[in-house]
Chain A
């Protein structure tokens, strides 16, 4: 999935500032053996409470507020229903993704947990589409 792949590349690139709890070898893009990942508990690092994280939280907050204002203006200015839906749904998904990735820290969780969250989420969306289309 594009989201997680991007996060991986970013993790590897930004390095110590964000995830200095894990050692360099386990942070590589290749899946690390479970024992090696377990060796460095994320809680022990300075990363989660660091100033870099603080800046990210503020940025995410600003993005969420800006997207909400944009949603409201689309609602006011665009009167064509189909165009409204096409504009609002991506904004809604972007907001949800921001909260899940940064506020719920999914971006910093282990690869397995990220997949364990994303797969049922995709299933939920699939079920919703099936339910909405069904009976027509």
Chain B
């Protein structure tokens, strides 16, 4: 199917190219083959080779692709009407989904093959973390209200909610830091003290790192908002910040259930 489309694209000149898509599909099949079966691996390798060959031969190589990317107006692409910056943010979030899937899936796998695994309540402070979960949900709420303020043209409202979002993020991190200190020094749960400790710090640590990055990004967004950088007509930065922030919330929804409750 991609061959047909690609031939069509070549005939049309430089309007479109599906070879990058073929390459991506080939790579994904190849990786799938690595974990499932060697026959899928061969199919993936063939598809990848076919895609790379077609890319180099048909669409004038990397420079041709680059030219197409620069020339293509949003209306000509399949995602017509969606801003390219927003598509870019979603692309970044896909890579984040894969990243956290690997970490959480790997931890679950280790857990499934370990004979004795402590109940979360026996080691962790579940009520305190439930409060923390609630704080993070609140911060998602304030983030979306900040965006609404920007959309309504109410800049005071937007600034107030952006500040509140950042503060809630800091509160979340403070509570987690306190939890870490308690677990590490008083209960002796350390990354090196076994699979339970290792997977716990791996999962919550990478999430906490992402929250920290989000708070830093929010500081920049707050600064720009205070300087009047976002208006009713131009506030995409707030929306993209929100996408990242909500994604961090979604990751925590998964982690809270998997690490603290099950």
Contacts and interface: CB of A to CB of B under 8 A. Distances in A.
A127 B140 CA distance: 28
A88 B246 contact: no
A120 interface: yes
Contacts of A103: 140-141, 143-144, 242, 246, 249
B108 A89 contact: no
A120 B144 contact: no
B101 A127 contact: yes
Given A35-B80, A57-B145, A132-B105, A121 B134 contact: no
B137 A116 contact: no
A110 B112 contact: no
Contacts of A127: 32, 35, 98, 101-102, 105
B144 A128 contact: no
Contacts of B105: 127-128, 131-132
A65 interface: yes
Secondary structure type dominating chain B contacts: helix
B81 A38 contact: yes
A102 to B, nearest CB: 8
A16 interface: no
B113 interface: yes
A49 B152 contact: yes
Contacts of B137: 61, 64-65, 68
Nearest to B236: A43
A116 B91 CA distance: 9
Interface string B122-134: 0000110010011
B9 to A, nearest CB: 16
Contacts of A75: 121, 126, 261
Contacts of A64: 137, 140
Contacts of B102: 127, 131
Nearest to A26: B81
A134 B254 contact: no
Given A64-B137, A68-B133, A75-B261, A104 B80 contact: no
B162 interface: no
B257 A92 contact: yes
A30 B1 CA distance: 23
Given A35-B75, A38-B74, A104-B247, A48 B151 contact: yes
A104 B133 contact: no
Given A112-B79, A132-B112, A100 B134 contact: no
Interface in B234-260: 242-243, 246-247, 249-250, 253-254, 256-258
Interface string B99-124: 00110111011001100000001000
A91 interface: yes
A37 to B, nearest CB: 5
Given A41-B81, A48-B148, A88-B261, 15 more contacts: A35-B80, A49-B153, A85-B262, A89-B257, A92-B254, A99-B140, A99-B253, A110-B79, A110-B82, A120-B94, A130-B36, A132-B108, A134-B109, A135-B109, A136-B112
Q: Which 4 A-B pairs have the closest CB atoms?
A: A49-B151, A34-B80, A128-B105, A49-B152
